[in-house]
Amino acid sequence: MAKKSIQELNAAKAARNDARRANSIAYYLSNPADDGRHGKAFEVACSRPMSVKTRLAKQGEPDVSVKFDVDGKIRYIIAECKTNEGRVDSLLSGKNRAKYTIYRLNFRQKHKGGKSGPWEEHKEIPAVIIPTAVFITALRRFNALHVIRNKRSGDGVAIQKSNKLLYEWLTYYVDQYGLTFDRESVYYPSDFDGVEESLKRFSDRSAKCQF
């Protein structure tokens, strides 16, 4: 029997890992009583094919690692995964040292409406990868944070998913940089050049438009 190549062995390993991840995702989504089920599934789905991660990270462990080419050398850099109204306590405090945040927005916003009555608006931003420092700055600058009360997991601070400026900036970010997240991609630090300055320009322009 012919010996399998490295590529074949890696492909088989990735397939096994993805099968285990699919089982974990199905398990998390099967519990409608868990408000955080979509965030848990998203975290697992962001894992690289060759990653051994197949379940939700334990408290204090990194969510995922992202493949970067840094000066010609491959590095695996820690990233935090968030969706919609994900909690960001540890990112704000600095306890979570993830250099990048992977964020996806997908929800239906209800409006009371006027003469025509109530209506719903579907808002969606594909998963994007953003330097955590820039992401936190955006949340603070746009006042896109709110306190949550939870007896089970404790009080904390979460993203305000309905924040208009946050949604507009994320749309702008995708249009300007195209930095949607792909778990199989290799990123470069230079991909994010100018992102911080771009946020400031957008914020300044938005502030002027309000007057």
Nearest to 91 by CA among 37, 130, 123: 130
Instruction: pLDDT band for 110, please (50, 70, 90 cuts).
Output: confident
- Pairwise CA distance, residues 166 & 162, whole Å: 8
Q: What does R_g of the chain's alpha carbons equal in angstroms?
A: 19
What is the residue extent of each domain of the chain? 1-56, 70-209
Three-state SS at 158: strand
Residue tagged 């493949």 (tokens): 67
Q: What is the pLDDT of residues 131-186, one digit of tens each?
A: 999 999 999 999 999 998 776 666 899 999 999 999 999 999 999 999 999 999 99
Q: What is the pTM of this model?
A: 0.91
Q: Looking at per-residue confidence, does 2 or 36 come out higher?
A: 36
Tokens at residue 123, please? 């808002």
Question: pLDDT for 37-60, tens place per residue?
Answer: 999 999 999 999 999 999 999 888
CA angle 90, 193, 75 (to 5 degrees): 65
- pLDDT band at residue 210, thresholds of 50, 70 and 90? low
- Mean pLDDT across the chain, nearest whole number? 91
